[in-house]
Every structure is written in structure tokens, then in C-alpha cells.
Amino acid sequence: MRIKHAFLTLWAVLVTLPLLWALMSSFKTDAEIFDSPWTPPASPQFDNWSRAWEQASIGQYLFNTVIVVGGSLALTMLLGALTAYCLARYEFPGNRFLYYTLIAGMLFPVFLALVPLFFVVDNLGMLGTYHGLILVYAAYALPFTVFFLHGFFRSLPGAVAEAAFIDGASHAGVFFRVMLPMARPGMVSVGIFNFLGLWNQYLLPRVLNPDPDHYVISQGLAALAVSQGARSDWSGLFAGLVIAILPVLLAYVFFQRQIRAGLTSGALK
């Protein structure tokens, strides 16, 4: 029993210690960071945070991320739900073919598409633009979203939709007012899954978003850490790191059960 708890606690410490250490370091001066990694700051340096936010553009990166992730999430959910619904509830020639072509997108590693994708986006003049990233993010999130929601729409009872049709509702009306609300639990799960996946994207923006003014947070932070210039401002970098972690931590504190359930149910599909 005691060994078991020691083991469980050890892993909890291993998980939290680096995060707490980064939080503490974000309040220290550069000299204090170099002097000893352990000692807490003599007085908390809130200036680190404002420097990271403004000079290191973390605020701008967060803003970019919110636009790109917000836009692509809305687009993915709308298009994914519509596509899954049409494929799950309507018989038409080519239905199966479309479905399998779509979910085949989950089989391929993104690395395979990387080079041609760069030129597709470049030829459309969308490199380094918000709308370019939004469209690409949505396109790559689509296969899983359709796959996940397809099963969901299939399992919904047909009687309610029939009744709505008899009452004179249009196809779009039945989808938006009857079926979509019934699929809410599935939408929430896949929405959480997509949100985290899109928020954490690194490879796609790294290739398709070369404009520093449009960097998303993961990309911007990594660029700061890698560039030698920022090396002289360790405390600011720690503050930037903590700022980048905070939104996700806050979301987790409030929705931790839904988030864990959403992510694991996605894996088992």
C-alpha cells in the first residue's frame, strides 16, 4: 500500500514539478534564474510577464491563435456535421465512395502531404494568412469529425425527422432544428477534441505560416526559444511559456471531466 502511494505520488510530482518550476521562474530575474534553479524570487518580477506579452509578442500570438482556431473550429464543426449527416441519413449513388474517400484522410501522415500542400497554399496566395490557415486546419480536421459524427447521426431515431418532414420542414430545417440538437453530446466530444488538436498545431503553421506577425502561440513560443536573440531574456521566455499554458489550464480546471471523456472517447472510436 505504501509503495503504491509513493509510486503514484512520484508520478504526480514528476508531472507537476516542471510546470510549477516554470511558473516560479517566470517571476524571477535573469540573475536569480542563473544563480540557482531552486530558490524562489526575492520579489516577484511581474515585469517579466508584461515584457513577454508586449515585446515578445505573446499577446499578438495568442490573438492570432484565437482567430485561427476559432475560425477553423467553427468551420470544421459546421461542415463536418453537415457532411456526416448527409452521408449517414441519405441514400444516394456514390455515398459509400465519398465516405471512404473522406475518412481515408486519417490514414496518411501529414508529412506526406507537406511539400505539395505548401505549393497548393502558395499558389492560392494564402501563405501566412489567417484564412489560409483556417481553411487548411478545417480540411485536415474534417475526416475525423465526419468519421466520429457519422456513427452518431446513424444512431439517432428516424421517427422525429419523419415527423418534422410531415410537418413541412425543409431538409435544412430538419438538420439544423431537429437532428443537430439531438447530436449535441457527439458535437461536444468532437468539438473538444478538435479544439485541442487545432490549438496545439505546430507542423502546419510552421510550414504554411512564415509571417511572424501571424504566428500562432505554439509556433511563436518555439521561435522565441530557438532564436538566439531571446536567449538573453530567460525570465521573459519563462513568462511567455506560462502565458501559453494558462488558457489550456483554465479550460481544464473548469471542464476537466468533459475534456478527459471527449479525448478518450475519440481515441476508442
Q: Give least dist CB 43 to another protein, A.
A: 19
Query: Which stretches of the chain are assigned E, i.e. beta strand?
Result: none
Q: How far from chain centre, in Å, is Cα 2?
A: 39
3-state helix, strand, coil in the chain (%, to 5): 80, 0, 20
User: Which one, 26 or 186, has the nearer CB to another protein?
Assistant: 26
CB of 92 to another protein, least distance (A): 6
Q: Are 200 and 259 in contact (CB under 8 A)?
A: no
Q: Interaction with another protein in 54-113: which residues (CB under 8 A)?
A: 79-80, 82-83, 85-86, 90, 92, 98, 101-102, 105, 107-109, 111-113
Rg of the chain over all Cα atoms, to the nearest angstrom: 23
- Of residues 126 through 185, those in contact with another protein by CB under 8 A are 135-136, 138-140, 142-143, 146, 165-166, 170-172, 175
CB of 254 to another protein, least distance (A): 12
Q: Determine the 3-state secondary structure of 57 from DSSP.
A: coil
Exactly one of 45, 48, 64, 219 binds another protein (CB under 8 A); that residue is: 219
Near another protein by CB under 8 A: residue from 67, 156, 182, 196: 196
Q: What angle do CA 92, 73, 90 make, to 5 degrees?
A: 10
Compute the least distance from the CB of residue 261 to another protein, in Å. 8
By CB under 8 A, the residues from 236 to 265 that bind another protein are 237-238, 241, 244-245, 248-249, 251-252, 256, 259-260, 263-264
DSSP codes joined into one string, 127-179: TT-HHHHHHHHHHHHHHHHHHHHHHHHHHS-SHHHHHHHHTT--HHHIIIIII
Q: What is the smallest separation between the CB atom of 213 and another protein, expressed in angstroms?
A: 18
Q: How far is the CB of 10 from another protein (least distance, A)?
A: 10
Residues 21-50 that bind another protein (CB under 8 A): 21-22, 25, 33-38
Whether 218 contacts 201, CB under 8 Å: yes
Residues with Cβ within 8 Å of 261's Cβ and at least 6 positions away in sequence, in order, are 189
Total number of residues binding another protein (CB under 8 A)? 92
Stretch in the footprint of another protein (CB under 8 A) among 6-14, 45-53, 55-63, 151-159: 6-14
